Amino acid sequence: MMADAVTSNDLVEGFREVGLKPGDVVLAHSAMRTFGPIDGGADAVIDALLEVIGPRGTLVVPTFTFAHEAEDDPIIDPASDRSEMGIITETARKRPDALRSTAFRHSFAAIGRRATVITNIDPALTVFDFRSSFGVMLSLNTHVLLLGVTYASSTSHHFAEMVCEVPNRHTIPLTVKVRRDEGTVTEQAMTDYQPKSEGGSYYGSGSPDFNRLGMMLESHGVVGKTFIGNSAIRRFPMRALIDLAQAEAETDHNVFRTPDGKPNEFTELDFGQCIMSPESADGAGRTNRVQWCVKNLQQLTLPG
């Protein structure tokens, strides 16, 4: 039996229930398929978020583009580079009132009062620098919103790794080309943040396990949780994550990963049911799967 479609009212009520309020800055990571059918599709999700945070709030979405990594002479084009982070982010990016930052991979689109200060940053800085988009969002007490995805999709955890100066990642200087608003193409210094370990593994003989810090946040009572349709929704303050990560990393940099030699021992979540998404390829041709979190696995419609 097909579930009833999620309505705009369901979305608004759910976002309020999870703890969002007028004036908030919210960074939303999303997997739209986890909701089930939505009246109005991705636009309805965006409209509901904007209604809840109001005219003094700001909605931010990741509009990461990985396709340029596979190009010999990439040209970064903030105006037209497609977001590879899902239909909600691509729909937000295309809105006429959206602004977008310039970055090699990790750009953001923002709509609302603080959109300019979040996106108008120096592209020479790594996106996880305190002076870049993440640093600005931290100073604005941003809330991270997970729509049907787990903490594994929280790029704020990578920001926490940078803040904690984890030994297994480092910055890499780049020189790339950028297409400006007026159409001219110029060279631009940029900085990427990548794993040190050989072969591109972030965590050696372990695996990333951002759910570990996520469950610590939940035990501290700072994570709002609810369901909208079939999608498990979580909200937490970015500052709470950064503060907790710094405290934990003082004694254990491995707080971001599974134990050595145990790449599959991920921290389980006790709200919602988790499943790996179908395999897909990013713009650079790498295949990957994402952790989804839903109310009922039987209601999740998968391709094939």
pLDDT of residue 235: 98
* 175 or 8, higher pLDDT: 8
Position with higher pLDDT, 272 vs 69: 272
Return phi, psi of residue 16, to 5°: -70, -40
The pLDDT, as a whole number, for residue 159 is: 94
Angle at 94 (CA atoms; ends 133, 190), nearest 5 degrees: 35
CB 226 within 8 A of CB 233: yes
pLDDT tens profile 194-245: 777 555 455 566 788 999 999 999 999 999 999 999 999 999 999 999 999 9
- Give Cβ neighbours of residue 127 (< 8 Å, ≥ 6 apart): 101, 103, 105, 106, 107, 133, 134, 193
8 Å CB contact between 29 and 225: no
Q: Which residue has the tokens 């009520």?
A: 13
Mean pLDDT of 33-58: 98
* pLDDT for position 170: 79
Residue 198: its pLDDT value, please? Answer: 53
Asked if the model's pLDDT at residue 34 lies above 80, the reply is: yes
Q: What is the pLDDT of residues 105-162, one digit of tens each?
A: 999 999 999 999 999 999 999 888 999 999 999 999 999 999 999 999 999 999 999 9
180-208 pLDDT, tens digit per residue, is: 988 899 999 988 887 775 554 555 667 88
What proportion of the chain, given as a percentage, has pLDDT over 70?
Answer: 95
Q: What is the pLDDT of residue 194?
A: 78
Residue 2 has pLDDT above 70, yes or no: no
* pTM score of the predicted model: 0.94
Query: Which pLDDT score is estimated for 12?
Result: 98
What is the 3-state secondary structure of the chain? CCCCCECHHHHHHHHHHCCCCCCCEEEEEECHHHHCCECCHHHHHHHHHHHHHCCCCEEEEECCCCHHHHCCCCEECCCCCCCCCCHHHHHHHCCCCCEECCCCCCCEEEEECCHHHHHCCCCCCCCCCCCCHHHHHHHCCCEEEEECECHHHCCHHHHHHHHCCCCCEEEEEEEEEEECCCCCEEEEEEEEEEECCHHHCCCCCCCECCHHHHHHHHHCCCCEEEEECCEEEEEEEHHHHHHHHHHHHCCCHHHHECCCCCCCCCCCCCCCEEEECCCEECCCCCEECCEEEECCHHHCCCCC
The per-residue pLDDT for 204 is 64
Q: Which of 45, 47, 59 has its CA nearest to residue 88?
A: 45
Q: Average pLDDT of the chain?
A: 92
pLDDT of 197: 59
Which pLDDT value is given to residue 266? 83
Using alpha carbons, select from 222, 114, 165, 91 the residue that is nearest to residue 101. Answer: 114
Has residue 90 got a pLDDT over 60? yes
